[in-house]
Amino acid sequence: MPTPDDYFVILGELQSEFAAALKQADPDRPVPSCDDWSVGDLADHLAGVHHWAAAMARDEDAEALPVPLDLIATYEAQAAELRETLSGLGPDATGRILNGLTEDGRGPVSFWFRRQVHETLVHLWDIRSALGLSTPEATPELWADSADEVLTVMYPRQIALKRARKIVTRIELTATDTGHTWALGAPNAVQKVYVSGSARDLALLLWGRLSPRSAGLKVTGDSAALDEALTRAIVP
């Protein structure tokens, strides 16, 4: 897993890439991986998430942002606010983290270094895909970390908040490029399925960006049970 310093550098790079893609895009262009969102909706969302996460790290309530008059300027301002907040506080400070993870909703600010990297990485994939551009140049290890965050942070949080039912199928995932393995579901489940592919494709599968039938993934076992498991809200 990267260190907080590593995450901080990566966050800045991903934010710069998102802003660069945004500058090329028609704000009304559809983003197929985000239901009925446009590029403008996606940019507004990510700017808002950066702003909200910065407030959470400071242990404050986020003030509502005005409707953006300039999507690019607004995104860059909120991206800068997030970086300045994380840099100023440092990873060892205590702030608010996502509900369902701790009893009082607080934890180390290092949580946001990681969380905002993966929020930005997935949405960078969204905007680049919408523009017909290549996949973000993230390392396989970073994509593996993204998959790991879904399985060890986001999915347990969804269960704790009763937003999703526990998966009963035993699902085992293997990243063929990094060697990482993960499992979720009951160890002794009758229904079992095995999924292998690149760390990037596994992360995008878990985030609902790819289907199990995508070319880069190999599924063996009960594929119908896998389909059913992925309909559960394992991520927000």
Q: Write the pLDDT tens digit of every residue in 62-112.
A: 999 988 889 999 999 999 999 999 999 999 999 999 988 898 999 999 999
**Beta strands 192-197 and 181-184: pairing type?**
unpaired
With 90 as the cut, is the pLDDT of residue 186 above it?
no
The closest alpha carbon to 189, from 222, 235, 147, 232, belongs to 222
Look at the block and give the residue holding tokens 């800045």.
Answer: 12
With 90 as the cut, is the pLDDT of residue 171 above it?
yes
With 90 as the cut, is the pLDDT of residue 29 above it?
yes
With 90 as the cut, is the pLDDT of residue 218 above it?
yes
Q: Write the pLDDT tens digit of every residue in 103-162.
A: 899 999 999 999 999 999 999 999 999 999 998 989 999 999 999 999 999 999 999 999
The closest alpha carbon to 155, from 190, 183, 117, belongs to 183
Report pLDDT for 99.
86
Burial of 70 per CB tally in 10 Å (0-12, 13-18, 19+): exposed
Q: Is the pTM of this model over 0.75?
A: yes
The 3-class secondary structure across 121-148, one letter per residue, is HHHHHHHHHHCCCCCCCCCHHHHHHHHH
Q: Are 50 and 113 in contact (CB under 8 A)?
A: no
